[in-house]
Amino acid sequence: MATRPHRTEAPPTAGLPPRWGDLWPTAPRRGRLERQAAAFVGVDDVQAECSGTAALVVALTAMHRLSGRRVVVVPAYTCPLVAIAVAHCGLELRLCDLAPGSIDFDAQALARACDRDVLAVLPTHLAGRVADVATAVALARAVGAFVIEDAAQAFGARRERRSVGLDGDAGFFSLAVGKGLTTYEGGLLVSADASLRRELWRTSREIVPWRLDWELRRSLELLGYHACYRPSLLRLAYGAPLRRALRRGDPVAAVGDDFPMRIPLHTLGRWRRNVGARAFARLAAFVADCTLRARRRRERLAAIAGVEVLGDPGGAEGTWPFLLLQLADEATRDAILARLWGEGSGVSRLFIHALPDYPYLRGVVAAADVPNARRFAATTLTISNSPWLDDADFESICTVIGQELLAARAPTP
């Protein structure tokens, strides 16, 4: 039994809805993007780059110049762009498995992965959840390695009211489409350490050129996004290609995990920064609204036996681009997705595979035994926390999940 096809399309994540007024060419009175972002994060300075990946490339390059080391330790389940960034820098990737059912590193595996060759460790605030940075900092410090917090999906996440991204040596946020506030592509690099911050600036000035061709392309893409990011047009712009990818059995394309292997490096142009700066006026209220909706919907989901919604440790409040659900096994997860993915109601998956399992990444990711990361990839799904997914649609999603969990428990004849 299929659910009713939706007239409109919910986006898979809660992007901050754009407004035409954001496109006004001058900087807003509230200040430049970097100044507003610095105030939001609670630092003196943030560095704008052309993507979260570019911010990571700048950080890795600067750190490699400082220490000469080459190994970068990343979670075995994360965005493929992280592995591509490490390869771009000519550095060596070392995967660390997750703790069971968690976005955090397995602490024992991380201790084994940390030696004197390690340049940096990347605890990752996946899905907006607040990750354990303290363990990574302790293990990295002991071997003289840096810590870079990957907060690409967690702009606005806080622990004890302090922004994520500041407990390691550096941190970065993504301003890509679908991650909240957007300049179509963009990234913010932060560091609480003033001398490292100077190195990050210096490195950026050296390796990141102004590129008219890329800026024109991204500016057009940003305009297209403003035109299409509305429930009526997302069916065409997002839903149609998604359903085509699902029909041909290509989940990697369906979630957009098929990234190009080359990372463009160029400055983030002034007009796009101003667009971001104008949208900033709505960001804090939007994050608060998403948090309230997520809280209500997590309570609703908690009433269904057999679903776990990933949350945050005590004292922490992450951001909620979507709810990340973990099911008991892959078959149950897939039975739910068979009915809901591609139906337009914002049910989707995060990254499809653990990093060693993407055929297109074979050249940059070595085979690895990472059972917890694989299990995480196989048993999780996401429900959009977009304000456009209304309570009735959310309730239909809960009904389907409840039915499939019942069916999974029923004895098979």
Question: Which amino acid is residue 221, in one-letter code?
Answer: E
Distance CA 170, CA 200 (A): 9
Binding-site size for ligand PLP (CB under 6 A) equals 15
Minimum CB distance to ligand PLP smaller for 269 or for 332: 269
Q: Is 348 in the site for ligand PLP (CB under 6 A)?
A: no
96: which residues sit within 8 A by CB, 6+ positions away?
73, 74, 75, 76, 105, 106, 109, 110, 113
Q: 123 or 400: whose CB is closer to ligand PLP?
A: 123
Question: Residue 386: which of 371, 401, 400, 397 has the closest Cα?
Answer: 397
With contact defined as beta carbons under 8 Å apart, do 188 and 173 qualify? yes
State yes or no: residue 176 binds ligand PLP (CB under 6 A). Answer: yes
Entry field: residues in the chain: 413
Nearer to ligand PLP, 153 or 267 (CB): 153
Which residues pair with residue 105 across a beta bridge?
98
Residue 78 as a binder of ligand PLP (CB under 6 A): the answer is yes
Is there binding between residue 76 and ligand PLP (CB under 6 A)? Answer: no
* Stretch of residues binding ligand PLP (CB under 6 A), selected from 73-81, 217-225, 264-272, 311-319: 73-81
Indicate which single residue of 51, 163, 203, 274 sits in contact with ligand PLP (rule: CB under 6 A).
51
User: Whole-number minimum distance, CB 187 to ligand PLP, in Å?
Assistant: 5
Residue 382 binds to ligand PLP (criterion: CB under 6 A): no
First to last CA, the chain: 21
Min. distance of Cβ 199 from ligand PLP in angstroms?
21
Q: Which residues pair with 384 in a beta bridge?
A: 322
Q: How far apart are CA 72 and CA 166, in angstroms?
A: 19
Binding to ligand PLP in span 82-141, by CB under 6 A: 82, 124, 126
Cβ neighbors of 212 (< 8 A, separation 6 or more) are none
Cα–Cα distance, 30 to 27 (Å, whole number): 8
Contact 61, 198 (CB under 8 A): no
Q: Does residue 394 contact residue 300 with C-beta atoms inside 8 Å?
A: yes
Stretch in the footprint of ligand PLP (CB under 6 A) among 50-58, 87-95, 235-243, 378-386 = 50-58
Stretch that binds ligand PLP, among 76-84, 188-196, 268-276, 327-335 (CB under 6 A): 76-84
For residues 82 and 56, the answer to whether their CB atoms sit within 8 Å is yes
CA 216 – CA 294 distance, rounded (Å): 37
Which one of 22, 97, 106, 150 is in contact with ligand PLP (CB under 6 A)?
150
Catalytic residue flag (residue 179): yes
Residue type, 294: A
Stretch that binds ligand PLP, among 49-57, 93-101, 324-332, 352-360 (CB under 6 A): 49-57
- Per CB under 6 A, does 152 bind ligand PLP? yes
> Is residue 405 part of the contact set for ligand PLP (CB under 6 A)?
no
Nearer to ligand PLP, 242 or 400 (CB): 242
For the beta carbon of residue 117, count every other beta carbon within 10 angstroms: 12
Does 187 help bind ligand PLP (rule: CB under 6 A)? yes
Find the part of the chain contacting ligand PLP (CB under 6 A) among 30-38, 51-59, 323-331, 405-413: 51-59
Catalytic residue among 64, 88, 179, 272: 179
Catalytic residues, by residue number, are 179
Residues in touch with ligand PLP (CB under 6 A): 51-53, 78-79, 81-82, 124, 126, 150, 152-153, 174, 176, 187
